[in-house]
Structure 1
Amino acid sequence: MMLTTEQLEQYKEKGYIRFDNLFTPEEMDRVCTIIDEFDAESERQLNAKGAQFNSIPKQINFTSGLNFMHPDLQRFIADDRFVDITTSILGPDIRLYWDQSVYKRPEADRDFPWHQDNGYVPTEPVHYVTCWLALEDATIENGCIWIQEGTHHKGFVEHVRTEIGQVCYDGDEEGTPVELQKGSMVAFHSLLFHRSTPNRSQKIRKGYVIQFSVEGSVNPTTGALFRNGPIIARDGKPAYTSFQSKDEVKAEVV
C-alpha cells in the first residue's frame, strides 16, 4: 500500500494523512486486549502514586514502551503497513521512535493542550512521524484529536510547560477534529499542532500512538541515539525479524 502522490502532497502541504480502515476490527481487538492489561496495571500504580505529569488518575493515562512488554505488540508496530507509510514519508531506514497507549477516561474534563510532539523531547532530525491509531472509535464526544492544518511549516515553536502538558499555542483557533473509526489512523508530522478535547462519553477513548523516525536520530542536547524500539525498515524494505528486549535494542550495533 505505497502512498499515492496525492497523499504525499497532502502530507507536505497540510502535515497529515488519514487512513480509514487501515486495520480490521479483529486486529484491533487483539491489540486492544493486550494493551488493556498494561493500562489497567499502569492505572493502578497511578492511583497509588498520584498524578505523574501528563498522566492523571481516573482521567488520562499514558503507558509507554509497550513494544518491549509483549512480542505481539512489537511485531505489530513492524507491520508492512507501517513500513510502507513511514518509508514513503521519511526515507528507507526507519526505527520505532516511541510508542504509548493513551487512554482518556470519561472523567477527563479538560483539553490536552495544543502542542507539537517535538515539544516534549528535542530530536535531530526534527521531523518524525506520529501515527495515532484508534483502538476504538475516536469521536468529538469522547475526545478525539484536533489538528491545525499546515502548522508544521512554522518549524519548532517554543513550548510552555503547564500542569496539563506542554503548550505551543493558546490562541482562539479551534482547529479541525479528526474523528476515526476503530482501526483507522492519522499519520502526522511531528511539528503539527494538535490537541485533544474532554471525554464526554461513558466509555474510555483508547488510542495507540506509534512514532517512527529515521534510523540514527539523536537527542541533540545529550547526543544519545534514540533506541526505544527496533528497526522496522532498511533500504525501504521490512527489516524486523524477531522480538528484541529493551537491553538488546540499546546494545544493538547497526
Structure 2
Amino acid sequence: MHLDADQLDAWERDGFLTIPGAIDPARCQELMQRADEIVTAFDPATVSIFSTHEQTRTSDEYFMASGDNISCFFEEEAFGPDGRLVHDKARSINKIGHAMHDLDPVFDSFSRQAAFADAAASIGIARPLLLQSMYIFKPPHIGGEVSCHQDSTFLYTDPMSVVGFWVALQDATLENGCLWAQPGGHRTPLRKRFVREPGGGTSFEELDATPFPEPGGSELVPLEAEAGTMVLLHGLLPHWSDVNRSARSRHAYTVHIIDGATSYPAENWLQRSPDLPLRGFDAA
C-alpha cells in the first residue's frame, strides 16, 4: 500500500491523509473483539480518568506507568455523583493504552501489518519505531471531547518526527465524534510540550502563543471515515474530536510512530522500561 504521487502531494499540502479501505474489515473486527476481552478482564481497583481538558490533574501514577503497560482509562462522565458507574464497565472506558502493540499478540499483528509499514516508508520515516498505541472507544452518549492539540506536544522528538496512524474500526461521522483537522496546520509552530516534572507529576511547557483553531470552526474540516479507513496525522497538525452524544460508539485505533534516527527526550511523559525497547515493523 505504498502511497502514490497524488497522495503524497496531499500529505505534504494538508498534513493529513485519508486512505479509505486501507485495513481489512475482518482485521478491524478482530481488534474490537480483543479490546472487549481486555476490558472484560480489567479489574478497576485503580480508577484513572482520562481527560484532555485537565491533563496535568489526571496524570496520576497509573497514567504515568502506562507507557509500557496495557491500561484502561475511564471516561470523565462515567461516574455519577455517588461515585458509581452510570453504565456498565464496557460502556464507561475512554481508551486502552499505551503499549498493546508490543505486549498483546493481536495488537502486535494489527500494528505491524503492511499497510502501516508501507505508508511509513512512503512518507519518508527512515527508521520507524512504534512508540505508543491507543484503542479509543468514544462510547455512546458519554464519549469525551479530545481538545484541539498537536501530537508532538506529547510525543516530542528532536527533530520532530511523530506521525499518528489512526484507523476507524467503526464508521466515524459528524454525529458520533469524527476527527477534525486544520489543512496545512502542520506548518504552524509547536505550541507546547507535555513533560515530566523533576519532582514528580507533569506540566505543559509553553513554547508559542499561536492560538489553536476554534473547535468546529471554519479552520477545521471534518474527516468522516468508514470502518477500515486509515488517517495519517502529522505531529504538528492541530486536530480535534467532539463529544459523542449519539447512540453509536466510534471505536478507533491509533499507533504513533517516530523516527529512530531522532532523539527522544527523557522529560517526555511517556517512557519505556529498558526491558521493553521500542521496535519497528520487522522486529520480532
For the 8 Å contact 1:133–1:183, the answer to whether it is kept is yes
Are 1:20 and 1:183, in contact at CA under 8 Å, matched by a contact in 2? yes
Aligned to 1:14: 14
**Alignment match, 1:62:** 95
Distance 1:16 1:122, change over 3 A: same
Contact 2:22 2:229 (C-alpha < 8 Å) held by counterparts: yes
What pairs up with 1:34-183 in 2 under 5 angstroms? 34-41=34-41, 45=44, 49=47, 51-54=49-52, 55=73, 56-57=75-76, 58=78, 61-64=94-97, 65-108=99-142, 111-158=145-192, 169=212, 171=214, 173-174=217-218, 175-183=220-228
1:185 to 208, 223, 230: 230
Q: Relative to 1, partners in 2 of residues 1:225 and 1:94: Cα closer, same or farther, differing over 3 Å?
A: farther
Q: How many residues align?
A: 229
- CA drift of 1:159 comes to 6.6
Give unpaired runs (5+ residues) of structure 2.
53-72, 79-91, 196-203
Identity of aligned residues (%): 24
Compute the TM-score of the two structures, normalised by the length of structure 2: 0.71
The C-alpha deviation readout for 1:124-168, integer Å capped at 9, x for no partner, is: 23122101101111111111111111111013123799xxxx896
Query: For the residues of structure 2 that align with 1:124 and 1:207, how far apart are their CA atoms?
Result: 28
Residue 96 of structure 1 contacts residue 228 of structure 1 at CA under 8 Å; is this kept in 2? no
Contact 1:115 1:159 in 2 (8 A): no
Q: Secondary structure at the match of 2:141?
A: coil
1:205 alignment partner, SS class: coil
| Selected match of 1:220 from 255, 262, 265 | 265
- In the alignment, structure 1 segments of 5+ residues that lack a partner are 233-238, 243-254
Q: TM-score, normalised by structure 1?
A: 0.79
